[in-house]
């Protein structure tokens, strides 16, 4: 038998004693009448009524005073103090409390009162074990601070840090607001394959897997764009999907290998309509979740009042850098970029160069919500050419407080041009992946004109929860496995 540290051994011993006493430390259920929040908000009524409440939760603090005990139970909505007295409980039930530990789930019955110090408290007339905890809790005052532990053992993070629980509740409200916003506008929520025989809809390294029965390679999707477009071909006019996408790239505070996106497609609309849709959606989310459209994200004050600023890609570059990039050759562009202090090593194409200039010199300046519109065609193989200027595409990206929030096009639906653009893209990126012929064929069947949008849910949650890292808004971020070093 392995040696257990004292704090683990003591809990095991208490568990053993409970079993010897014929007490089940892991009973099946407990009929709660109230949660902590209900008791606090209904205190006036409960205090007068002499009604007995039954509450349950994890014991997170305990202050014994000889023949009385104060403790706090934490449940799904907060904490409630409980008060036990030997006189009320009797010798046996009071002594049994010695077998509790911080972290145990307890169920208590009692009347509600207010202590001398003014805290609403349950005067316990009976209590029972609901679950015995065999591990110690993080420190009560400082919580759990070690980031690695917080990410690896999120359950401890959630127990110890109230604000973390709040972040994920807010994440849920953001998602449900988006869903109801789109539903109310006639969008149909759909599901498309995560396992795809060909990957597409974005440029990124995919994760590969293998299907045994079919003996075939499959990819985890990097985007669901090409499947949603097939659904427009099929006749649905407005579709969206909350999709987990997977990209086999580096990790940093804006990127996790698996992440959440929403993609949506609206028939008979163009990117201007999508801009208005996105403005409306963000305002709605802000009002639902924050109660205001003006808020702080890190060092930036954000105001989501529409309409957001719109600025053409090349104008944005010129305004931020003075570079008139549109008519420059690759060489001229490279020289201008280097003069501006941009590392242009490894940037082999005109488009890549532009992108680098934009990312390093323009994006950091985009504080107020701004649609950057009309990207170079080379960077946007799935977007229609601009109706006034063939050299740029009808595409926008939305930036808020320097965060890249969303990406949208007037979707290219000319099958011949689409094939040509994808083939050109393959040459530029040097990949030998097969074209998705079925997608092209779907376009040949005919996809109505449409506007499409993709936005990162995690980034949006970061924005609305003032989170620095994507790992703070994903319960279980991807981590290297713990190894015994």
Partner RNA sequence: GAGGGUGUAGCUCAGUCGGCAGAGCAUCUGCCUUUUAAGCAGGAGGUCGGAGGUUCGAUCCCUCCCACCCUCACCA
In terms of CB distance, is 286 or 342 closer to RNA? 342
Nearer residue to RNA within complex by CB, 181 or 456: 456
Out of 19, 95, 253, 335, name the contact with RNA by CB under 7 A.
Answer: 253
Tell me the helices (H) and strands (E) count for the chain, helix number first.
Answer: 16, 18
**Least gap, CB of 253 to RNA (angstroms):** 5
> What DSSP string runs through 426-455?
HHHHT--PPP-HHHHHHHHH----EEEEEE
List the Cα angle 481/484/485 in 5-degree steps: 110
Q: Which of 2, 44, 87, 215 is the binder for RNA (CB under 7 A)?
A: 87
Q: Which residues between 37 and 66 bind RNA (CB under 7 A)?
A: 61-66
Q: Do β-strands 403-410 and 195-196 pair in parallel, antiparallel, or remain unpaired?
A: unpaired
Candidate residues 115, 301, 349, 365; the one interacting with RNA per rule CB under 7 A: 115
191, 208, 249, 437: which one binds RNA (CB under 7 A): 249
Among 42, 43, 54, 68, binds RNA (CB under 7 A): 68
Kindly tell me which residue out of 162, 166, 252, 332 binds RNA, with binding defined by CB under 7 A.
252
Kindly identify the residues of this chain, within the stretch 116-155, that bind RNA according to CB under 7 A.
Answer: 116-119, 121, 136-149, 151
What does 85-152 look like in DSSP terms, one character per residue? Answer: EHHHH-HHHHHHGGG--TT-EEEEEEEEEE-TT--EEEEEEEEEEEE---SPPPPTTT----HHHHHH
Q: Of 168 and 293, which has the nearer Cβ to RNA? A: 168
Q: Closest approach of Cβ 262 to RNA, in Å?
A: 15
Q: State the minimum distance, in angstroms, from the CB of residue 472 to RNA.
A: 9
- C-alpha to C-alpha distance for 385 and 311, rounded to whole angstroms: 17
Pairing mode of beta strands 120-131, 78-85: parallel
Q: Which residues pair with 84 in a beta bridge?
A: 69
In DSSP notation, 327-375 reads G--HHHHHHHHHHTT---TT--SHHHHHHHHIIIIIGGG--S-EEEE--
* Distance in Å, CB of 110 to RNA, minimum: 12
CA-atom Rg of the chain in angstroms: 29
Q: In degrees rounded to 5, what are phi and psi of residue 179?
A: -65, -45
- Note whether 28 binds RNA by CB under 7 A: no
> Minimum CB separation from RNA for residue 60, in Å?
10
Q: Least distance (Å) from RNA to the CB of residue 59?
A: 9
- The residue count for binding RNA (CB under 7 A) is 76
Least distance (Å) between residue 50 CB and RNA: 14
Specify the residue, 235 or 341, whose C-beta has the smaller distance to RNA.
Answer: 341
Which CB sits closer to RNA, 283 or 428? 428
Q: Strand order of the sheet with strand 216-220? A: 195-196, 216-220, 207-211
Nearer to RNA, 118 or 186 (CB): 118
Q: State whether residue 174 is helix, strand or coil.
A: helix
Per-residue contact string for residues 202-241; x = within reach of RNA by CB under 7 A: xxx------------------x------------------
Asked if 101 contacts 141 with a C-beta cutoff of 8 angstroms, the reply is no
| Cβ distance to RNA smaller for residue 202 or 232 | 202
Q: What's the sign of the alpha-carbon dihedral 363, 244, 383, 180?
A: negative
Rounded to whole angstroms, the Cα distance separating 408 from 413 reads 14
Least spacing, CB of residue 66 vs RNA, in Å = 2
Q: How far is the CB of 214 from RNA (least distance, A)?
A: 28
The residues in 292-351 that bind RNA, with binding defined as CB under 7 A, are: 343, 345-347
Minimum distance from CB of 180 to RNA (Å)?
A: 27
CB of 183 or CB of 252, closer to RNA: 252
Task: Find the binding residues for RNA in span 357-386 (CB under 7 A).
Answer: 359-360, 379-382
Does residue 95 touch RNA according to CB under 7 A? Answer: no
Measuring CA to CA, which residue among 363, 158, 394 is closest to residue 275? 394
CB of 219 to RNA, least distance (A): 15
238-246 and 188-189 beta bridge pairing: parallel
């Amino acid at each position: 038998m392995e040696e257990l540290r004292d704090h683990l051994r003591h809990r095991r011993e208490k568990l053993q004693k409970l079993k010897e006493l014929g007490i089940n430390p892991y009973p099946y259920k407990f009929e709660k009448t109230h949660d902590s929040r209900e008791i606090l908000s209904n205190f006036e009524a409960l205090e007068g009524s002499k009604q007995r409440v039954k509450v349950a939760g994890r014991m997170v603090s305990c202050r014994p005073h000889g023949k009385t005990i104060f403790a706090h139970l934490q449940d799904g909505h907060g904490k409630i103090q409980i008060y036990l007295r030997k006189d009320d409980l009797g010798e046996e039930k009071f002594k049994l409390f010695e077998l509790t530990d911080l972290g145990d789930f307890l169920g208590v019955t009692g009347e509600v009162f207010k202590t001398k110090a003014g805290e609403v408290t349950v005067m316990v007339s009976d209590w029972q074990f609901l679950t015995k905890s065999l591990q110690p809790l993080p420190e009560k005052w400082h919580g759990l601070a070690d980031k690695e532990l917080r990410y690896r053992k999120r359950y401890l993070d959630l127990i110890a840090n109230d604000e973390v629980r709040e972040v994920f509740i807010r994440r849920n409200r953001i998602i449900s607001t988006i869903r109801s916003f789109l539903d109310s506008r006639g969008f149909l929520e759909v599901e498309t394959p995560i396992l795809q025989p060909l990957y597409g809809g974005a440029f990124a390294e995919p994760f590969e897997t293998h299907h045994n029965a079919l003996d075939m390679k499959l990819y985890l999707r990097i985007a669901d764009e090409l499947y949603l477009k097939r659904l427009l071909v099929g006749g649905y006019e407005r579709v969206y999907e909350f999709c987990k996408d997977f990209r086999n790239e580096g990790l940093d505070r804006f990127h996790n290998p698996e992440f959440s996106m929403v993609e949506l497609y609206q028939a008979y609309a163009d990117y201007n309509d999508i801009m208005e849709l996105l403005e409306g959606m963000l305002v709605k989310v802000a009002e639902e979740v924050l109660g205001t459209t003006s808020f702080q994200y890190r060092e930036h004050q954000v105001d989501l009042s529409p309409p957001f600023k719109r600025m053409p890609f090349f104008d944005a570059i010129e305004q931020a850098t003075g570079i008139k990039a549109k008519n420059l050759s690759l060489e001229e562009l490279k020289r201008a970029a280097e003069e501006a202090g941009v590392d242009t090593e490894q940037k082999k194409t005109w488009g890549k160069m532009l992108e680098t200039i934009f990312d390093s010199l323009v994006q950091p300046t985009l504080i107020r919500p701004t649609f950057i519109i009309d990207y170079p065609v080379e960077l946007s193989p799935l977007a229609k050419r601009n109706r006034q200027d063939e050299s740029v595409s009808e595409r926008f990206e939305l930036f808020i407080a320097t965060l890249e929030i969303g990406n949208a096009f007037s979707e290219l639906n000319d099958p011949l041009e689409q094939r040509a653009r994808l083939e050109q893209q393959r040459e530029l990126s040097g990949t030998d992946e097969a074209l998705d012929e079925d997608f092209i064929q779907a376009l040949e069947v005919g996809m109505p004109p449409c506007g499409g949008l993709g936005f990162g849910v995690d980034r949006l949650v970061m924005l609305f929860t003032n989170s620095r890292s994507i790992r703070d808004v994903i319960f279980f971020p991807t981590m290297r496995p713990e190894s015994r070093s």
